Amino acid sequence: MKDPKLDLLQGTLDVMILQTLSTLGSLHGYGIARRIEQVSGDQILLNQGTIYAALVRLQQRGWISAEWGTSENNRKAKYYSITKRGRKQLDADVEYWQRLSDVMGRVLAMPGTEERG
């Protein structure tokens, strides 16, 4: 059996979406979901439906914009792209996550933790 999938931490989905849009440009909701799953190597538990809740939230904060367009196979779909304010937010978020993961790494690497465990 595979390891159980990771639950998404509060706020991580927003950063993933912003990062995806920042690197890949304009994408529709399904595209974003697929991309995140692929990059994560199918390790996270993602209800694709929740993407849409995150998208509308980001849109309301003015970090992404949306417009209807046509997909490569001629389907009407809503395309999202990151805004200037979105990029600024992404920079801030990336810095935050980096710092957090640094700290977590250091804390978990603290000598003695294994003995106790």
Partner 1 sequence: MSISLGEIWRKLSASLRKTRLDGDLDAELAAHVELAAEDYVRQGMTPQEARRHALVKLGGLEQSKEVHRDARGLPLLDSLGQDLRYAVRSLRHDAGFAVFTILIIGLGTGACASVFSVLNTLLVKPLPFKDPSHLVWIANRADAEENMSGQTIQVGRLLDFRERNKSFSDVAGYFAFYGVGDIVLTGGGEPERLSGVPVSQNFFPLLGVQPQLGRQFSADECKWNGPKVVMLSYGFWKRRFAGDPNVVGQTISLDDRPNVVAGVLPPSFDFGAIFAPGAHIDLFYPFPLSKETDRWGNTLALIGRIKPEISMGQAQAEAYILGDQISKEHPNQNFLHPNLTFLHEHVSGRLRPALLILACAVGVVMLIVCANLSNLMLARTAARQKEMAVRAALGAGRKRLIQQLLTESLLLTSCGALLGLVFAFGATRGISHLTAFNLPLLSSVRVDGTVLGLVLLVAVGTGIILGIAPAFELAAFRLNASLSQRGASGSREHTWLRGALVVSEIAFACVLLVGAGLLTRSFMHVLDVQLGFRPDQAATLRIDPSSQYKTLAQKVGYLNEALRRVKGIPGVEAAGLVDSLPLGRNRTWSVGAKGKIYPPNNYPSAFVRIVSDNYLKAMGIPLKRGRDLTEHDTPDSVPVMMINETMARTLWPGEDPIGKIVLGDCAKERQVVGVVGDVRHMALEKESGSEMYIPMRQCSDMPTWDLVVRSTLPFSVLSTNVENTLRPIAPELPRGNMRPIGQLVDRAVSPRRFVVLLLSGFAAFALILASLGIYGVISYSVHRRTQEIGIRMALGATTRDVQSRIVLRTLGLAALGMLIGVVCASGLTDAVRGLLFGITPGDPVTFLCAALALMMIAAAAGYLPARRASRIDPMICLRAE
- With binding defined as CB under 8 A, does residue 29 bind partner 1? yes
Rounded to the nearest whole angstrom, what is the least distance from the CB of residue 31 to partner 1 in the complex?
A: 8
- With binding defined as CB under 8 A, does residue 78 bind partner 1? yes
Which of 96-104's residues contact partners 24+ apart within 8 Å by CB, and which partners? 97/15
φ and ψ at 84, to 5 degrees?
-60, -45
Using the contact rule CB under 8 A, the part of the chain among 18-26, 52-60, 94-102, 103-111 near partner 1 is: 52-60
46 touches 34 (CB < 8 A): no
Rounded to the nearest whole angstrom, what is the least distance from the CB of residue 106 to partner 1 in the complex?
A: 26
Q: CA quadruple 68, 27, 58, 6: dihedral positive or negative?
A: positive
Which of residues 23, 50, 98, 113 is near partner 1 by CB under 8 A? 50
Using the contact rule CB under 8 A, the part of the chain among 1-9, 28-36, 98-106, 109-117 near partner 1 is: 28-36
User: What distance in Å separates the CA atoms of residue 46 and residue 42, rounded to the nearest whole number?
Assistant: 9
Closest CB to partner 1 among residues 41, 111: 41
Which of residues 2, 76, 84, 106 is near partner 1 by CB under 8 A? 76
Q: Which helix (H) or strand (E) holds 64?
A: strand 64-70
